[in-house]
Structure 1
Amino acid sequence: MQPLRRTQAERRASTRARILACTAECLLERGYAATTVSAVQERAGLARGTVQHHFPTRAELLIAATTQVVDTRLEKFRREAELLQPGRDRLQSVVDLAWRDLNSPAFFTALDLWVAARTDTELRDQLVIEERRVFTEMRRLYLEVLGEPYASDPRAEVLVEFTIDLLTGLSMTAMLTGTLGEREAVLRRWKRALAVLIGQLPSEELLDGSPLPAALH
């Protein structure tokens, strides 16, 4: 029995998906500036006219690919959340989860897009929508990962926000100038600060450089 031939609509959808996947890969690996129509065409193994038939301009191509990049980041985030070790303090685990996301190629791609969007109105409008989506979903997952007793603690959501903001800044700084040791020291200090803020450690231990108690690992 011969396989069914795909319809023109199916072939068109498949080609479009291939172009967007290759654009997202190019953004992740090479950055915004190097993601040209030619680079995508070459990666996809398609004629330039085929790419431009689906996306007449580079701006349209990159705007559409932004959604693909966000989906990649969310999927990786969900997988990382599923791999968190049982038995660890969940608030401390959220710091590790957030850092892996905010120090990943997908996040650095988002940074590229943010910078480009400063002067590109079309890209900015689309990026605002997609960033709102990724932040909403990640905050939901963070609180889901926390579970009880944190989920019903009114302080938890604020501490998650603080964690995201602090680690975003750390990632942006460390991308150019930070060393591994410096980053790890900040993460340790923030984990200890969270333990103090949530009431697991007394405030006088905030500046203590010793490791966290085993119960908080």
Structure 2
Amino acid sequence: MNHRVSPKAGVRRTHAERSAATRQHLIATAIDVIQHRSLEEMSIHELAKSAGMTSGAVQHHFESKAVLMMNVLSELIESTVRSGELWPSPALPARERAAKFVQAVWGLVYAQPRFIVAWNIYLGCRNQPEVLGHIAELRQSVQARMHEGFFTAFPELAAEPDRDGLLGLVLSSLRGLGLLQLFAPAQPSAPDAVHQAQLACLADWIATRCEAAAASAGTPTKVRTRRR
């Protein structure tokens, strides 16, 4: 008689898979410690205690706090990419596109607790060249992704002479709003109406620039047609 073995019973993770899972657990625990306590409290010893491991086991995966912080930053960036779509279809009307983009990038990136975690790491590691070098590389990578995605979603603006300054202003505005969360109440009673008004103004400005660029180039853009 042939005995069939259940697939679940016969599957074992490889050493590499177990190691990767442990690293992800440690990174997630580190993010949680920084978010709910502080960067200063995030030592190898505290991470080991919070993760239910020994300090030696943690150092087997991350030899120092600097190396751990670099991996935490990488995970924060990748989780932002995985969290959802930032870019609306360029076929949508300019104003709908702009509103969708601003709300998506705010909700998925700048309003997220991980955004503040990333800035805590940046501010706390200013005297660690190794971490700062890694941050610079990540910023270049993120900037390239944002540049490509933004001008694909808003092709009217791709040929504008000040396009880099335009994108920089958009991201700086969102970044500034995100950093204001450092001073917000721990448990706000309602969504910040001031933030929403500012986001609406930013979306309106993007849409207006799209419409002006399309009109200047003599190309049609997806805007509502006015009927007389």
User: TM-score when scaled to structure 1?
Assistant: 0.72
Q: Number of residue pairs matched? A: 198
- The structural deviation recorded for 1:156 is 9.1
154 and 175 in structure 1: CA distance in 2 versus 1, 3 angstrom threshold = same
Aligned partner (choices 88, 91, 99) of residue 98 of structure 2:
91
Q: 1:198: which partner in 2?
A: 210
Q: Which residue of structure 2 lines up, in the alignment, with residue 154 of structure 1? A: 160
2:176 corresponding residue in structure 1: 169
- Is 1:180 aligned to 2:192, yes or no? yes
Q: Which has the higher contact order (CA 8 A, sep 6+)?
A: 2
* Larger CA deviation: 25-34 vs 67-76: 25-34
Q: Please tell me the root mean square deviation across aligned C-alpha atoms, in Å.
A: 3.4
2:110 counterpart residue number:
102
Displacement of 1:90 after TM fit? 0.9
Deviation at 1:3, TM superposition (A): 2.3
**Aligned residues of 1:74 and 1:134 also touching (Cα < 8 A):** no
Matched, 1:58 2:65: yes
For 1:205, the equivalent position in structure 2 comes to none
Q: Who is 1:133 aligned against?
A: 141
- Alpha carbons of 1:24 and 1:135: their partners in 2 closer, same or farther (altered >3 Å)? farther
For 1:73, the equivalent position in structure 2 comes to 80
Q: Is the CA contact 1:117–1:123 (under 8 Å) kept in the aligned structure 2? A: yes
Equivalent of residue 48 in structure 1, options 51, 55, 58:
55
Task: Report how far residue 170 of structure 1 moved.
Answer: 2.6
Correspondence for 1:210: none
Q: After superposition, what is the alpha-carbon deviation per residue over 1:33-87, rounded to whole angstroms, capped at 9, x for unaligned?
A: 33222332233322222112222322222222221111112212x345579xx77
Partners of 2:17 and 2:177 in 1: how far apart? 44
- Deviation for aligned residue 1:24: 3.6
Structure 1 SS opposite 2:10 = coil
CA distance in 1, matches of 2:168, 2:101: 11
Q: Who is 1:124 aligned against?
A: 132
Q: Percent identity?
A: 20
* 1:174-205 Cα shifts (integer Å, max 9, x gaps): 542699232223223333333433346xxxxx
Residues 17 and 82 of structure 1, relative CA distance in 2, 3 Å threshold = farther
How far is the alpha carbon of 1:112 from its aligned partner?
1.0
Distance 1:152 1:9 in 2: 44
Amino acid at match of 1:118: R
Name the residue aligned to 1:111. 119
Judge conservation of contact 2:35–2:113 (CA < 8 Å) in 1: yes
